[in-house]
Amino acid sequence: MTRTAEPTANLQQNELGNIIEAYSRVTERLEQSHLRLTDEVERLHRQLDEKNRELARKERLAALGEMAAGVAHEVRNPLGAIQLYASMLDRDLERLPEAQRLVQKIAGAVTSLDAVVSDILAFAGNDRLELHAISLDRVLDEVLALAAPQRDVLGATIHVDADASAVQVHADDRELTRALVNVVFNALDAAGPGGTVHIHVTEGEDGFVTIAVADDGPGVAPELAQRIFDPFFTTKDQGTGLGLSIVHRIAESHGGQVTVGPGHGGGAVFTLSLRGAGDTEPVDHRESI
Q: Which domain holds residue 118?
A: 1-124
Give the number of domains in the chain: 2
In this prediction, residue 284 carries a pLDDT of 46
Rounded to a whole number, what is the distance in angstroms from the first to the last CA of the chain? 89
pLDDT value at residue 59: 67
Model confidence pLDDT, tens digit, residues 92-132: 888 888 888 888 888 888 888 888 777 777 777 666 778 88
β pairing state of 196-203 and 157-160: parallel
Instruction: State the CB neighbour count (10 A cutoff) for residue 233.
Output: 13
**From CA 60, how far away is CA 102, in angstroms rounded?**
41
DSSP 118-132: HHHHHHH--PPP--E
Residues 34 and 166 in one domain: no
Q: What separation in angstroms does the CA of 277 have from each of 46, 84, 134, 169?
A: 33, 45, 7, 4
Instruction: List, for the chain, all residue ranges whose pLDDT scores fall below the cut of 50.
Output: 1-2, 282-289
**Can you tell me the distance from the alpha carbon of 31 to that of 48, in angstroms, rounded to the nearest whole number?**
25
Same domain as 84, residue 166: no
Residue 113 and residue 33 in one domain: yes
From 99, 124, 149, give the residue that closes a domain. 124
pLDDT the model gives residue 180: 94
Among 187, 188, 213, which residue's Cα sits nearest to residue 272? 213
| Alpha-carbon span 223 to 221, nearest angstrom | 6
Q: Is 203 helix (H, G, I), strand (E, B) or coil?
A: strand
Q: What is the pLDDT of residue 288?
A: 38
The per-residue pLDDT for 94 is 81
DSSP letter (8 states) at residue 162? G
The residue among 102, 124, 146 that closes a domain is: 124
Same domain, 28 and 157: no
Is the residue at 285 inside a domain? no
* Residue 281 maps to a domain: no
- Which of 71, 101, 124 is where one domain is finished? 124
